[in-house]
Amino acid sequence: MSKATVFIDGEAGTTGLGIAERLAHVNGIEVRSIDPAKRKDPKARQALMAEVDAVVLCLPDDAAIEAVALANELGANAPRILDASTAHRIAPGWVYGFAELHPTQRDMIEGAHFVANPGCYPTGGIALIRPLVDAGFILVDYPITVNAVSGYSGGGKSMIEAYEAGTAPHFELYGLGLTHKHVPELQTYSNLNQRPIFVPSVGNFRQGMLVSVPLHLDVLDGKPKAADLHAALVDRYEGCELVRVVPMEDASVKAGRLEAESLNNTDMLELRVYANESVRQAVLVAKLDNLGKGASGAAVQNLKLMLGVE
């Protein structure tokens, strides 16, 4: 049986390298690479696009838009596109590549010509919020706040270089203009009418991520208990291979402390509910590798669905 073929446009970047490394262990997919001397040659890239089943775009937003135009010029020979940039995440005609978003999402990804790979922060935030919106606990106008910390590998080339050179601070908040590029998809796929406040931060560790959502239980619809929120998460993700809802009685939940790096080099996403019923407050927390389920791992999951590869 012939293998499906994939061209990673932008293979030399952090996400592209991670995808290529993971695909090396997938029997049903073959990666086709471009001559490094021609990686910025539009004609050479377009010629390779015509030869493969799918193209993964690991490019800046403007370059990703240009790459889609190149592919579309091929007409009937155009490959399917998986875009890892921010450019098309809420664009019409594109399917959002978070397979666990909704029970029908996997089928939508399987049949899509254009799939937008999710951002790392929104993967955690949406995974926590969307099931509670669908269950009616969080109303669409609820003023959501999302706080998050990531390893520095999610910040791009200049941030990586600064941390590895020892010139970056040990910890910093950023995105304080409240216009972070992940906010539109976080709002859209959480099904919120009210724009969420998103406060990201970066720490002096290479990879790993925690995304947290604080909630006042008595302000939620129906005044649920924390166990009700946990049950809604369990119901949504039951049977999902890559998403685990940690039991509330788990020792790590009881301890009230959580580190960010234990899922590094995996494609798993773990969700936790911390709560204090005496003050009617809860904090939902998602843990993931920002380079795994938050980037390259999600891309490979989507490619397998798009190409019908087990």
- The residues that are catalytic are 120
Question: What CA–CA distance (Å, rounded) separates 266 from 296?
Answer: 10
Question: What CA–CA distance (Å, rounded) separates 179 from 85?
Answer: 17
For the chain, first and last CA: distance in Å? 13
Q: 261-298: b or e for each residue (b if 16 or more CB lie within 10 Å)?
A: bebbeebbbbbbbbbeeeebebbbbbbbbbbbbbbbbb
Residue 273 sits at φ, ψ, to 5 deg, of -120, 115
Of the candidates 213, 182, 207, which has an alpha carbon nearest to the alpha carbon of residue 289? 207
For residue 278, which amino acid is it? S
CB 70 within 8 A of CB 59: no
Question: What CA–CA distance (Å, rounded) separates 259 from 149?
Answer: 10
Question: What CA–CA distance (Å, rounded) separates 86 from 64?
Answer: 9
Give residue 267's Cα distance to chain centre. 11
